[in-house]
């Protein structure tokens, strides 16, 4: 008799984090460099169901030496109504098949040599934990809640937030 695997439903907080990342796409990735925190915008090519991120960069990017020295990173995503802060361990991955899978015209604009070039480097962030904030009403909703809070003395609740281990 054949067996059928049942897909385990994704945790709602993990789904929320992945949805926000897929919506925003560009992360401010923070690394440690010489005792200082350094952030730069990097486009996420793929976020997996477990929250792991795949990013392209060029071989001469400073982020690679920073990851080699200290692989703990933070990736923060800021949309107009939703935000994520995700921490994890970054590594450089030499996987030609994955490069071809993720290659697109956006990457080509920054690395014109193509996915087989030694200049095209993949960074994988093995996600560990993420916090998110979601304000579906935007700034107008926050302002309205602030006015109501001032008038009633009750605290404002601008939206939902949560965290999840990935």
Give 86-126 pLDDT, tens digit per residue.
999 999 999 999 999 999 999 999 999 999 999 999 999 99
Rounded to two decimals, the pTM is 0.83
Q: What pLDDT is stored for residue 6 in this prediction?
A: 42
Whether CATH 2.30.110.10 fits 12-135? yes
Does 142 score more than 70 pLDDT? Answer: no
- Spell out the domain ranges in the chain: 12-135
Nearest Cα to Cα of residue 58 among 125, 105, 123: 123
Residue 161 CA, chain-centre distance (Å), reads 16
């Amino acid at each position: 008799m054949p067996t059928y695997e049942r897909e385990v439903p994704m945790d709602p907080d993990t789904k929320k984090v992945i949805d926000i990342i897929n919506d925003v796409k560009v992360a401010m990735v923070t690394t440690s460099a010489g005792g200082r925190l350094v952030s730069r915008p990097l486009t996420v090519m793929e976020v997996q169901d477990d929250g792991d991120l795949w990013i392209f960069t060029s071989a001469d990017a400073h982020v690679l030496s920073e990851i080699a020295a200290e692989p703990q990173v933070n990736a923060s995503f800021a949309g107009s109504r939703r935000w994520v802060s995700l921490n994890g361990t970054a590594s450089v991955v030499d996987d030609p098949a994955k490069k071809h899978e993720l290659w697109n015209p956006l990457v080509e604009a920054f690395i014109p040599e193509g996915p087989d070039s030694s200049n095209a480097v993949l960074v994988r962030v093995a996600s560990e934990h993420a916090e998110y904030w979601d304000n579906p009403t935007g700034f107008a909703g926050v302002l309205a809640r602030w006015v109501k809070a001032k008038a009633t003395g009750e605290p404002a609740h601008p939206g939902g937030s949560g965290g999840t281990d990935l």
